[in-house]
Amino acid sequence: MTHTVGRYMTPSPVVVERNTTMAHALRIMNEQGFRHLPVLAAGKLVGVVSERELRIVENMHGVDSGMCVVGDFLLGAPYAVGPETPLREVSLAMADHKLGSAVVVDGEKVVGVFTTTDALRALAAVLG
């Protein structure tokens, strides 16, 4: 049996545009139960923000989460993989680079997010 990231990802994630306010992104995360949001600019993946990162910034003195946009807090290109990428490859890359998530893309379309929580569920399934 081939174990691919697409099999264990959280499918059809919510995405936000880079000009989305932090407050709105945090509200989406709260309502949807997500901790990671892929960020798009003109429909193309440009980053991913985590709830943890946004909460840290939100709690900084003088930061107004209703005025700051998520695009201002992107830390670089996101780790993106295709749904057929082997689970082992993605898990090792995430561990080696201390990443909390991988954005799963089919072409340029975001189709899922694979997080450390998904990795633990995959491990439990593989171990039986």
Tens digits of residue pLDDT in 90-127: 999 999 999 999 999 999 999 999 999 999 999 999 89
Contact 91, 119 (CB under 8 A): yes
Match domain 5-127 to its CATH number in 2.40.160.10, 3.40.630.30, 3.10.580.10, 3.40.50.720.
Answer: 3.10.580.10
Q: What HEC string does the chain produce?
A: CCCEHHHHCEECCCCEECCCEHHHHHHHHHHHCCCEEEEEECCEEEEEEEHHHHHHHHCCCCCCCCCCEHHHHCCCCCCEECCCCEHHHHHHHHHHCCCCEEEEEECCEEEEEEEHHHHHHHHHHHHC
Between 126 and 7, whose confidence is greater? 7
| Residue-wise pLDDT tens digits, 9-38 | 999 779 999 999 999 999 999 999 989 999
Residue 87 has pLDDT above 80, yes or no: yes
pLDDT for position 119: 94
pTM of the predicted structure, to 2 decimals = 0.90
pLDDT for position 1: 65
